Each structure stands twice: as structure tokens, then as C-alpha cells.
Structure 1
């Protein structure tokens, strides 16, 4: 199974990336921990443990050791109800344990889609076990661990590791809280999203406490009108090392179309599988993300890996940081991005349109391309107003294109207005793959008022022949988001 070998290699490369949850300091135990227990091997702190303080139904299980633990190659961790009923199994020898359903995602055929993920993550002295689904609220559970699950740790027998889940929050609540340390309605962002009723018709806000939330998040199209609000982009980080090798085109080659084809495809053929590889994916309408960082921690060169993918209508990103390398931010349908930061190297802003980006920074991490916008004929593309195009220190002058497209999408539109561009932007500005200007006579690569960081006009005399400098009157038209977004005013106050 080639995809599984690729998965193992990639996981081994990403577990120490900056997104990883910091291990506890020496002598410090995670929240909701019980006392250390000795199983014939090193003392281990089990969390959550005990019945006095109930925990989120979506809590991960954590084991903290005196030394960094080593995961075995076989053995099972199992969760049981108080009556002994088995509810979940993580089996290190079974590849199926590395797959799970997320967010009620259905393929284009209506069948459940399953993601590849890491059920056990070792970071420092702590191992976190992420179950295949949330537990039921208001129940008592016990956990058993077979010998060999962690090298040097003997078995945890039934009754030793017990805990209780808290009661479910009120259904249809207008505000839901998330805190990975406990004390909120949910411990994960996905748990909060899952609690929203299907076909929700009123605004629901999910407030996410400071912390790093290492999870794939998926918002299905039957969960509209959601706002996910972090506690500040420097304090709330949501993300995962998801990518094409784990869950995209490379992984879907041998998966039946009934399980793998993406729903709500804007471009039916190119977009068959690429919806599953984002760290945070949204297929719902009327979604807002505010004051948070979304980080796809796939390493450089680790394949296409969206941090945020928005595939609904009227999506807003406000004071958001979007971090990845290739394909960082993908927006399909009407969207608005303001006061945000996006970084990457290859096509790190891409999708269809219309998308209006204002007062934001686009930072190039390497030689590459900023935008690839694939419009259908007659559709709007992307407008970038008052953006700042910056670069990492290692990115050379003249090495980055504003945008590129191939001749399959001859009517694509990318517009930069009143934007500041460092010298990493190549004099030619734009590129066409597999063609030239004669093959894309309706291309809309437009620009107006570009300046250098010191305020001088950019020399655009060497730009691609079929790109165009707008005049002042034309530029004024495109400064209005409603011109691009078919009358939608995204600047209205948030819920």
C-alpha cells in the first residue's frame, strides 16, 4: 500500500514541527491529570483520570512519562463504557486505525469519506491518543492498554484508568466554547462544529481559547452561519500536517470514486480529490474565521497542503494568519479577506473567485508564485487591494511572479491595486504555463498603483505583454468589493 508507506515517512518528518503542542515542563503535569501509576515499567500519568471532574466528550487521552516514550508496532488501546461495552479501538498493527470520519463529510456520491490521520502523537514526554470519534456525554468510561503499545510499559487493565464525560451543552446555543485544556463546552474545534444542528439557520459563534489545536477541521455544507473566533492570531493556532500524500490526489488513486470524489466541486474534473488535504476545510456558506492562525505544518516540499480551504459562498477571514508552503489559502466562491497574513511559496493564494483581499500581507517563503486563480468563463477572480508583498530573507530579487495560470483557464482574473511590492517580484510580473499571450486573449492580469517599499512607483515596463496597467477610473471601480462580489457587502459587522 504505497499511500501508507508515504504516510509513515511523512509523519516521521512532521512530528517535531512548530505546530506541535509543547510538552509539559519538567515536573509539570497536563490539566485533568490523575496520579502517576506504576505498571512494572516507568511511572505514567494518565489523563483524564478520575470521576470527580468530568471532561469534554471530545478530549484526547494523554499519557505522560518520565522520559520521551517510544510507540510500539503492535498493541491496542481500547475505550469501554462502564458496563464493559467496547466503544473504540486504536490498534497499532491495523492500518484502518489510521483512518477516521471527520465532520460528517460525505463524498459527491453521498458516501462517508474517511481521512488518514495520526491516532497517536508523541511530543516530548507526552503521548496523545486521538480517538476515531467523540465519546457520548454524561458517561463513565475506562481505558485498557495492551503491553507493547508503548515500549517498556506493561498493560493497563480494566478499572485502573477511569474518567467521566461532562453533560452535553445546550443544543442550538448561539455561543459555544472550546478549550483544549478543559473547562469549556468542547476540547476541539471539530467537536464544537459537530454540535451545531444540521441546516442551522441562525448565527452561531464558536469561541476558541488560547492554545494549539492539532486537528483537521471540516465544516460540511449543512453547517452554515458559523463564526469561529480565536483569542488572537498569536494565541490561538489551529492546524495539522495534512496534504496530498495523506488525503489528496496521491492518496485517492485506489479509493473508489463513491468515497473519494469531492462534494460541491466548482471545477468538476480538476477538483475530484483535492478537497480533503486542507488543515481547515469549509464547504458551508456564510462562514467567518477571526483572530486565529491556521497552520498546515506539512514540511517544505511535502506536496500540496492548504492551510485554509473555503468552498462556500460569503466566506470572511478577518485578522487571520494562514501558514503553509504550497497552496496555503484556497478560496472557491465569494470570499473576503481583511487585515490578514498569508505565507507560502507555490500558488499560495489560489482557487476560483470572486475573492477580495484587502489590507493584508502576502509573504513569499521561497522562489515561486503568489497567486493561481482559475476562473470559469465570465466569472470574477481575485482583487488584492493595499496588499504588502514581502519575502523571507533567503528569497532573491526577481524570483517570484504575482500570478500564473495555464491555458486551460484563459479568462482568469487577478488584479493588484495600490499594493507595495518588494524586489523579489520579477519584472515580468506574470506567467502562463503551456502557452503564451496568443492562447489567452481574454486573460485579466491587471495592476494599478504598485509601489516599492520606499514608496516609489514600480517599474512595470517589463510586464507580460498580455497583462495591463489600469487607468485611475478603472482602478476605482475595482476598489469596491461589491463590483467583484456581485453586490455582496462583506464589510458588515461580524455577529
Structure 2
């Protein structure tokens, strides 16, 4: 009898494993253990809520257990805020058809963001965050308005991660303001300072896309504002791909101690020869840490780069590109649901 029961249990678990393997909507055992609830957002009324903000608002303040908000495919025209007192939220789109969260506000980096995440311990997967103010989809026509600040997403919580997400705008697309952040296989598109702030962030296998034909002059991928020589902040791009309409600078310094590293990244022929600008910090170039290591492609030619670009040792590069050393010293990434 015991052997029969054991055989039935073995068959049950085998069938469950097969279902988990072949059903793209199923989640592994770890997720089932650590995610306390799943809320469904469907614009057409086939879920728990019809807007993303309603779903976030339904989660209690000071939440201490991971809660998944699954967003069915649609275009959600709304501003969304994850407040500081609502940690442990997973915002997840359909794997095959990503939902779009978009809004068209501009002119102010604080008030324009389509999406804001203040909370610590936050995850987003398979979502397109978009600011439509500068009409990125209609590059030949920006409604006669000058391009201005129009943030797609602003993040300033600690221990936030983003997987297969897109951030789309023209100017100041992604406000990577502060905190430790991890981006994996994400796309960031813009023309002017389109990744900016003082975050401590690792971008791995991401697509960095220039749309400078919108503005008609060379733009800037990054505007990092690291606060001082002992500040651990900085933007690190590991095994990424830089492409687009160009031309584009890798960055300009938004602070005396600005720090950016491109490592193992393929650069198409859109990078300006000089690569970097001191911008607001001309005269303090020795304090700026802009570096490239083991990059490739026609845009990775270092022969005409600014003379003050830093040459990092292999150990320094490894210390910045290794997540465990740069952003994950306490192992927070492994503690997040996959």
C-alpha cells in the first residue's frame, strides 16, 4: 500500500513539474512559497482591477510579504506611483504581450514621470514604461513643441530590480535617482540625459537606444550625479548593446564625482569620437570617473576619446561588473522571487 501511495505521489509531482515547464504562466515552487497573493489587472474588467494604480492602492501599507500584480496586455494610460510604505510588490506583465503604462506629461523631472517607484524591495517584469509627451513614436513631428523633460520612470527605492522592461521617451527617460538597482535585458530609449541620477545600478545585457534624430544634434546617454569620492553610486553597463539613430555621447557629468562604466558592450557607429563631456563640471575632470573596458564595435574606438577618461584595472572592472561586489553585497537579489 505504501509503495502504491509513493508511486501516486511521484506521478503527481512529475505531472506538476511538466505543467510548470510547459505552461508559461506557471510559477516555480519558490514563487509559490514566497508570493503571498496575486492580483490581476485587466483593462476590460476581467481581473480584480481595471487600472494599475487601483491594484497598488489595494495593498496594505507596510506590507511585509511579496504580492504579485499581474497586468494583462493593454495600453494603460495612467500615472502610477508605488509609495514608500508599500514594499515587496512584483509588477508583472504578460510574457508574450507586454502591457504598456504610458502618460504624456513633460516640463518637470519631478512631476512628469509616468511611473514612480519609491518603495524598497520592488520588482518589475515584462512591462513597457512610456512618456508620450515628446512623441517618440512620431519622430518627424513633435507637435511643434520643444523637446523637454519627460520622464518615463523614476526610481529611488533600494533593492529594486527590472527584467525585460522598456523605458521610452526622448529627454530624461529614466530617473535612476538613488538606491541599488539591477536591470536585466531591458531597453532604454532616448536622446538627452536619458539615464540620469545618483543610483547605484547595474545594467546587464540591456539595449541602449539613441533617438537623436528627434533633436537634430548629439545627445547624451547618461548624466550621473554621484555625490562624492566615497559614494558607492554609479552606472555600470555590462554586456550591453548601444544602437540607434545617433550621434550620441556616452555621458556628461551631473556632479563632480560622476561615475559610469561601459564594460563588454557593443557600440554601433553612433558614439561621438570624444565619447564624454564634463558639462557642468568643466575644470574638475580629474574627479570624474568615466571608463570603457573590453568594449567592441565601430563606436568603441578609443583613439579620440577625452584625455581624462579613466583606465581601470582588471580588478576595478571586476569589482564594478560583479553584482555581488557592486550592488548585492547582502544577497538581496537572491532573496527576491524569480
| Partner of residue 88, structure 2 | 225
In structure 2, what is the Cα distance between the partners aligned to 1:434 and 1:372? 10
The SS at the match of 2:55 is helix
* Mapped contact 1:316–1:490 kept (Cα < 8 A): no
The 1:217/1:182 distance shift into structure 2, 3 A limit, reads same
The 1:233/1:224 distance shift into structure 2, 3 A limit, reads farther
How do 1:265-344 and structure 2 match up within 5 A? 274-299=109-134, 300=142, 301-331=146-176, 332-344=178-190
How many residue pairs get aligned? The number is 285
Structure with more of its chain in helix, by fraction: 2
Deviation of 1:435 after TM superposition, in Å, equals: 4.2
How do 1:18-417 and structure 2 match up within 5 A? 174-232=37-95, 234-244=97-107, 248=108, 274-299=109-134, 300=142, 301-331=146-176, 332-366=178-212, 367-377=218-228, 378-379=230-231, 380-392=233-245, 395=246, 399-406=247-254, 409-417=255-263
* Mapped contact 1:234–1:293 kept (Cα < 8 A): no
TM-score by length of 2: 0.80
Deviation of 1:277 after TM superposition, in Å, equals: 1.4
In structure 2, what is the Cα distance between the partners aligned to 1:441 and 1:296? 36
Deviation of 1:350 after TM superposition, in Å, equals: 1.0
In structure 2, what is the Cα distance between the partners aligned to 1:293 and 1:232? 12
TM-score by length of 1: 0.55
Match of 2:294 among 415, 437, 449: 449
In structure 2, what is the Cα distance between the partners aligned to 1:191 and 1:490? 28
Structure with more of its chain in strand, by fraction: 1
Q: Deviations over 1:197-241 (max 9, x none)?
A: 011111111000011101000111011110100013743111111
Instruction: Kindly name which structure, 1 or 2, has the bigger radius of gyration based on alpha carbons.
Output: 1
* Mapped contact 2:265–2:296 kept (Cα < 8 A): yes
Match of 1:485 among 313, 327, 331: 327
In structure 2, what is the Cα distance between the partners aligned to 1:382 and 1:232? 27
In structure 1, what is the Cα distance between the partners aligned to 2:270 and 2:330? 34
Unaligned 5+ runs, structure 2: 1-34, 135-141, 213-217
Deviation of 1:323 after TM superposition, in Å, equals: 0.7
In structure 1, what is the Cα distance between the partners aligned to 2:153 and 2:165? 10
In structure 2, what is the Cα distance between the partners aligned to 1:467 and 1:302? 29
